[in-house]
Structure formats: structure tokens, C-alpha cells
């Protein structure tokens, strides 16, 4: 069976991990180009050793590569600002893009929640690592009961945060917040990221807090567990740290500052604690924040390729 050819833009940590995953894991995708702007980057050097066609001349160099016309999907692992320019340059050539930056030109996609609704889009956005880890949980709670407010805290090892992540902290929080609402289904969302300098580096930890009304606790717990299992299908290191917690909210607690809630309705806080251990394809296992992004992007690329084959049959 012929494989769909893809290109990866960005020869840093995320792009390099994507390249390794494409080479090792995907039976349906073939990496036909690795694109960077730093000829001394480890990602481009590794591409050369692995026999992957590469260019250090950015998107203009990609367009000049012999295999460019055969490439159908482009995964962009650069930065929010760079993606806007890359998307503009590739749009006239009809290349479909999977955006791993917070640029959010296209719709937000979290594979277990809304992938099938966006398979035909020319540009989809993978939200953020925090979004990929937590939005399935918010959506799982929202599938059982309305979520008035959802807050997520993503704590990652400082060592796993490269220059792209550090430059896009503001975009990270805003993009994740919007996706919590638009994809997760919360009436109002909030996102916080923590770069933890602990040594040895800690693996990614995520906390999800949802404010809900009276609801079936057993149904919420089962929905969350089902969501975790679904994510584990492509991120084996994704797991619950403990049982789902339920806490009654005191009548006089000022939750009205967080979200609009029905007056007089008893409220409950649902707390879910997660950790994400990476597969260590390119980076150490503590970099689960990178692993969940690249694993989710790979899942999206494979489903897009499958859909295209179905359409053309």
C-alpha cells in the first residue's frame, strides 16, 4: 500500500520527535522532508543520518525540493508567528497543514473529542500540550453534566520547554482557554502553565478542576475513565494519578466570580489529576508534554490520510 507523503517544519525538539515517530510508528505516512532554518540543528543532522530529505532553507527550501509536489500533509512544529507565514506560503500550493503551535488559524482539534468533524479542513490546530492532556477530561465531564467553569493547570519540566514554548506562553494560555470552552464544552475556561525547574526533571502533571451542579458522580467517574483509556490508545504514558475527586462547594463560596451559575443550585467541584510520561522516542520520558502533542498530531495525520484514501476510492 502506498503511503501518504508528509513534511515536518521545525527541526527542534517537537519536529525531531515527530520525525522519529513517523519513521518508527506509522504504516500509512512517509516523511518526505524535514525542514529547518538552522543548518547546525540536531534535527537536520539526524534527518541526514536517517536518510530523510532535509533543507535548512525553511519553507522556500521545501517548495524547491524535488518531492514537494507529492507531499500532501505538512506538520508545522515551529512557533505561532512562524506558522502564520508558513501557512500563507503553502496555501497557494494546496498543502494541508497540521499546526502544533498556538497560532490557531484553523479549528482546534483534540483527537478523542472532535477529530472526525475536522478531517476535511485545510489547516487544523493541535491546541497545546496542556490542552491535549486536559480537554478530553473536560469534555468527559461535560458529556454527563453542564460545566460552568473549567480550570486546568499544566506543570512541565523546565528542561522540556524549548525556545518555541517559552516564546509562546501567552498564546499557550489563551489558546488553551479558548479550546477548553470550544472543544471541551465548558461555559468558561482558564489555563495555567508552570515550568518546573526541579532536578531531576519531573514528568508532566495536569490538574483539571470543573465546577458543576448536582450530577451523577459515578457517571462522571466512568466518563473520565473512558476518556483516559481513549487517549492511552496513542499516548500510553497518559494516566490518572488517583481517583476522581468530588467536593461540595459551600453556599457562601464566591464562585460567581468564576462563572455564571444558576442561583441557589448546589454546586460541586470535580478534580482530576493526571500525569503524562513520554515514550522517549527522541527526548527523555519526562517530556510527556512534547510526546502528547506529537502523538496527537500523528493520530490526526493518519486519520486525514485514511479519509483521503476513502474519498479517492
- Nearest 5°: CA angle at 154, between 150 and 159? 170
pLDDT category of residue 245 using cuts at 50, 70 and 90:
very high
- 68-96: buried (b, 16+ CB within 10 Å) or exposed (e) per residue? beebbbbbbbbbbebbeebbeebeeeebb
User: Which tens digits make up the pLDDT trace of 13-48?
Assistant: 999 999 999 999 999 999 999 999 999 999 999 999
pLDDT at 313: 67
pLDDT at 83: 96
Same domain, 148 and 269: yes
User: Which tens digits make up the pLDDT trace of 251-304?
Assistant: 888 888 898 888 888 999 999 999 999 999 998 999 999 999 999 999 999 999
* Eight-state DSSP code of residue 192: E
Same domain, 148 and 219: yes
- φ, ψ (nearest 5 deg) of residue 294: -70, -35
Same domain, 150 and 117: no
Same domain, 65 and 134: no
- The arithmetic mean of pLDDT across residues 133-152, rounded, is 98
Between residues 312 and 271, the one the model is more confident about: 271
Instruction: Find out whether 262 and 213 touch, Cβ atoms under 8 Å.
Output: yes
Instruction: Find out whether 289 and 275 touch, Cβ atoms under 8 Å.
Output: no
Same domain, 57 and 181: no
Same domain, 13 and 43: yes
Closest CA to 302 of 1, 30, 14: 30
User: Residues with Cβ < 8 Å from 177, sequence gap 6 or more?
Assistant: 189, 190, 191
- Residues of the chain with pLDDT > 70: what percent? 99
Same domain, 226 and 120: no
pLDDT at 310: 79
Same domain, 254 and 137: yes
Cell numbers for 70, please give them: 507529492
In terms of residues, how long is the chain? 313
Q: Determine whether 129 is an active site residue.
A: yes
pLDDT at 312: 73
What domain range is 111 assigned to?
A: 4-126+292-312
- Residues of the chain with pLDDT > 90: what percent? 87
The total of structural domains in the chain comes to 2
CATH number at residue 181: 3.30.360.10
How far apart CA 88 and CA 6 sit, in angstroms, is 18
CATH number at residue 103: 3.40.50.720
pLDDT at 14: 93
Same domain, 143 and 208: yes
User: Which tens digits make up the pLDDT trace of 8-22?
Assistant: 999 999 999 999 999
Same domain, 82 and 40: yes
* Ranges of H-type helices in the chain: 13-25, 42-50, 58-64, 80-90, 111-114, 129-142, 163-167, 169-182, 217-232, 288-312
How would DSSP label each residue in 132-177? HHHHHHHHHHHTTS-EEEEEEEEEEEGGG--HHHHHTHHHHHHHHH
Same domain, 17 and 58: yes
Instruction: Find out whether 135 and 113 touch, Cβ atoms under 8 Å.
Output: yes
How far apart CA 242 and CA 212 sit, in angstroms, is 20
Catalytic residue among 129, 235, 267, 296: 129
Statement: residue 56 has pLDDT above 70:
yes
pLDDT at 261: 86
pLDDT at 298: 98
- Nearest 5°: CA angle at 43, between 41 and 45? 70
CB atoms within 10 A of CB 97: 24
Same domain, 169 and 181: yes
pLDDT at 309: 80
Q: Which of 116-130, 163-177, 202-216, 296-310 has the weakest average pLDDT?
A: 163-177
Instruction: Find out whether 115 and 306 touch, Cβ atoms under 8 Å.
Output: no
Amino acid at each position: 500500500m502506498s503511503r501518504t507523503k508528509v513534511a515536518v517544519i521545525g527541526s527542534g525538539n517537537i519536529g525531531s520527535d515527530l520525525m522519529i515517530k513517523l519513521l518508527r510508528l506509522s504504516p500509512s505516512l512517509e516523511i518526505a522532508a524535514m525542514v529547518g532554518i538552522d543548518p547546525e540543528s540536531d534535527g537536520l543532522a539526524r534527518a541526514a543520518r536517517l536518510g530523510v530529505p532535509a533543507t535548512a532553507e525553511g519553507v522556500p527550501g521545501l517548495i524547491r525540493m524535488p518531492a514537494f509536489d507529492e507531499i500532501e500533509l505538512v506538520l508545522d512544529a515551529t512557533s505561532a508567528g512562524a506558522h502564520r507565514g508558513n501557512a500563507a506560503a503553502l496555501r497557494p500550493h494546496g498543502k494541508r497543514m497540521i499546526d502544533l503551535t498556538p497560532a490557531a488559524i484553523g479549528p482546534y482539534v483534540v483527537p478523542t473529542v472532535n477529530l472526525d468533524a475536522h478531517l476535511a479542513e485545510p489547516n487544523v490546530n493541535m491546541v497545546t500540550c496542556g490542552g491535549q492532556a486536559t480537554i478530553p477530561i473536560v469534555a468527559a465531564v461535560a458529556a454527563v453534566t453542564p460545566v460552568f467553569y473549567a480550570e486546568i493547570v499544566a506543570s512541565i519540566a523546565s528542561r522540556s520547554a524549548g525556545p518555541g514554548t517559552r516564546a509562546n506562553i501567552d498564546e499557550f494560555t489563551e489558546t488553551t482557554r479558548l479550546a477548553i470552552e470550544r472543544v471541551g464544552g465548558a461555559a468558561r475556561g482558564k489555563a495555567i502553565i508552570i515550568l518546573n525547574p526541579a532536578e531531576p526533571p519531573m514528568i508532566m502533571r495536569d490538574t483539571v478542576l470543573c465546577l458543576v451542579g448536582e450530577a451523577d458522580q459515578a457517571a462522571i467517574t466512568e466518563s473520565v475513565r473512558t476518556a483516559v483509556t481513549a487517549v492511552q490508545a496513542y499516548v500510553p504514558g497518559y494516566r490518572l494519578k488517583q481517583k476522581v475527586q468530588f467536593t461540595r462547594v459551600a453556599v457562601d463560596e464566591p464562585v460567581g466570580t468564576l462563572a455564571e451559575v444558576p442561583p441557589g443550585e448546589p454546586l460541586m467541584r470535580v478534580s482530576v489529576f493526571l500525569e503524562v510520561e513520554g515514550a522517549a522516542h527522541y527526548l527523555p520520558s519526562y517530556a510527556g508534554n512534547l510526546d502528547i502533542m506529537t502523538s496527537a498530531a500523528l493520530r490526526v495525520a493518519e486519520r486525514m490520510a485514511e479519509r483521503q484514501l476513502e474519498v479517492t476510492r
